[in-house]
Amino acid sequence: MPELSDVSKHYAHGDLIEAIRSGLTLQGKSMHTVTIDELAPVDEFHIGGRRASEDFLDQLAFDPQTKVLDVGCGLGGSARFVADRYGSQVTGIDLTREYVETGNTLCKWVGLDKRIFLQEGSALALPFAEASFDGAYMLHVGMNIEDKEKLAEEVARVLRSGAVFGIYDVMRTGPGDLAFPVPWATTAG
């Protein structure tokens, strides 16, 4: 089983804010003019990108009264989409400190930092009280977590009774080994 720090190290970049800022400059944009739609190609890097976010998250029926948990929030692109499109308050958690810090900066750039709260932490030990959220989702996170039972227990613990939990993930549907590297891992370890 990989260590949590191994997962975090796999995703760390080094200077994401500067890379994003440079990319924006090349497109004639700045942190003062960028929109969540313009950030989507860099911060919604799951299979299907923004279109997949729309198709998946529209099914969860979030609204402005919904307190939502984004499990494995990455840079917070999906959290920004949920806060913008449905008006929900979103709390995100991710193992990779650089992603959380970058995501919080991007939320400020697009004026959503009062409705989105991203923090570093593990989905296997969620730092939230029982029944804290009205809904939750994961986009391409479960493939990084070996202990699916513990993951489900933790998410169930922090959801209110009757809450929705959506999962959009890569799943093996038959026998056989994966051919590495894959987007989420360089080796089977």
| Residue 139 belongs to domain with CATH number | 3.40.50.150
Please give the radius of gyration of the chain, using alpha carbons only, rounded to the nearest integer: 16
| Residue 12 confidence (pLDDT) | 52
Q: Which pLDDT score, from 0 to 100, does residue 3 have?
A: 55
What's the pLDDT score for residue 130? 98
Long-range Cβ contact pairs of 38-44 (< 8 A, separation 24 or more): 39/77, 39/80, 39/106, 39/110, 40/77, 40/81, 42/75, 42/77, 43/74, 43/75, 43/76, 43/77, 43/80, 43/103, 43/106, 44/77, 44/78, 44/81
The predicted pLDDT at position 95 comes to 93
In a domain, 179, yes or no: no
Task: Let me know if residue 24 belongs to a domain.
Answer: yes
Residue 181 lies in a domain: no
Structural domain count, the chain: 1
Is residue 178 included in any domain, yes or no?
no
In a domain, 176, yes or no: no
How confident is the prediction along the chain (189 residues), in pLDDT tens digits per residue? 455 455 545 445 568 899 999 989 998 999 899 999 999 888 887 888 889 999 999 999 999 999 999 999 999 999 999 999 999 999 999 999 999 999 999 999 999 999 999 999 999 999 999 999 999 999 988 888 889 999 999 999 999 999 999 999 887 777 888 788 876 677 777
Please tell me the predicted confidence (pLDDT) of residue 44.
81
Residue 32 is predicted with a pLDDT of: 93
Q: Report if residue 173 sits inside a domain.
A: no
Q: Assess if residue 71 is contained within a domain.
A: yes
Looking at the chain, list the stretches that DSSP marks H as alpha helix, in order from N- to C-terminal side.
Answer: 4-11, 16-26, 36-43, 49-57, 77-86, 97-109, 148-158
Q: Does 67 reside within a domain?
A: yes
Domain that residue 153 falls in: 4-168
- Tell me what pLDDT residue 171 has: 72
What pLDDT sits at residue 129?
Answer: 98
Is pTM beyond 0.95? Reply is no
